[in-house]
Amino acid sequence: MSASPAVGRALDILLLLATKPGPVSAAVLARELELPRSSVYHILTVLQDRGFVVHLPEQNGYGLGVTAFEIGSAYLRHAPLERLAQPILHRLAIQLGQAVHLGVLHGSETLYLLKERPSSGPAAEVSLITDIGVRLPSHLTANGRAILAALPEPQVAALYTRSASLVSRTGRGPRSLAALHRILAETRERGWAGEVEEVTPGLQSVGAAVFDHSGHPVAALSTTWSRSLALPEPGTVGHLLREGAMRLTTRISGRSPEQGYASNTPSRR
């Protein structure tokens, strides 16, 4: 097999996996792409070694891996996403009276790309560590949890292969993968993510995911404020952030996943 056809076939496999709602067997890939099964297995092995696909033995299939997700996120981290998000964040910052962020998943960390703050009001004076370019553990941030909750559980597990990777900043937050999965399940049920004093004492955050054309989470909007301020209930904030996240999803020609964040009704949890 020469190099160029092999590259093309590898890309065909990745593109086909991107269109599927779940794991796909090697036999199905070979049949739909009209490739020899031996060639498909060889390519899948190479892609798996580099993190582009993950093998799910219990389902006898393959899905996209973390590396494929990171490449997609890297594309969306560039200026087009930020330009499209900026007016939405600006509107939310004014509407909420507090800082609003755009973040993406970078490995197991949240990377903040954009930040809008209100020009006045008590929340404008709150000191935050979530500046542009800052990275924080995604399992602790509302921004990261919003994205993680919309990913398949095997992909989340691949990000946290060791319990040591579930670090704590304030003594709060999940310390095991099982605990993280429970938090993400609650996030999916609510429709927005939250954290209270898990990143910084005295502060709390809410986040909502942004989706691409295949219903995959590529970014999140989040807001952080002091617990001492008289601001709206987290459920109301979460509802407003979800509306903003859906506006950005539409602007990047994305769509909300058919399953998952089911209700648009504000939650009071």
Give the Cα separation of 239 and 115 in Å (integer). Answer: 19
List of domains in the chain: 3-64 (1.10.10.10), 70-251 (3.30.450.40)
Give the residues across from 54 on adjacent strands. Answer: 63
More confident residue, 21 or 141: 141
Quote the Cα angle for 165-171-177, to 5°.
Answer: 35
Q: What are phi and psi of 90, to 5 degrees?
A: -60, -45
Query: 73 pLDDT band (50/70/90 cuts)?
Result: low
Tell me the range of 61-70, 82-91, 257-266 where mean pLDDT is highest. 82-91
267: DSSP letter = P
Q: Give the Cα separation of 195 and 77 in Å (integer).
A: 24
Across 82-91, 146-155, 258-267, least confident range = 258-267
Task: Give the C-alpha distances (Å, rounded to integers) separating 184 from 11, 13, 145.
Answer: 31, 29, 7
Evaluate if residue 267 carries a pLDDT over 50.
no
Instruction: Supply the DSSP symbol for 24.
Output: B
Q: Give the tens place of pLDDT for each residue, 95-106.
A: 988 889 999 998
Cβ within 8 Å of residue 32, ≥6 positions away: 16
Q: Cα dihedral angle (138, 152, 39, 5), rounded to 10 degrees?
A: -60
In the prediction, which pLDDT does 260 show? 41
Residue 72 has pLDDT above 80, yes or no: no
* 70-79, 108-117, 133-142, 208-217: least confidently modelled range: 70-79
Q: What is the chain's mean pLDDT, rounded? A: 85
For 213, the token pair is 């054309």
CA-based nearest residue to 128, from 212, 213, 205: 205
Q: Rounded to two decimals, what is the model's pTM?
A: 0.67
Q: Is the separation of the CB atoms in 143 and 208 below 8 Å?
A: no
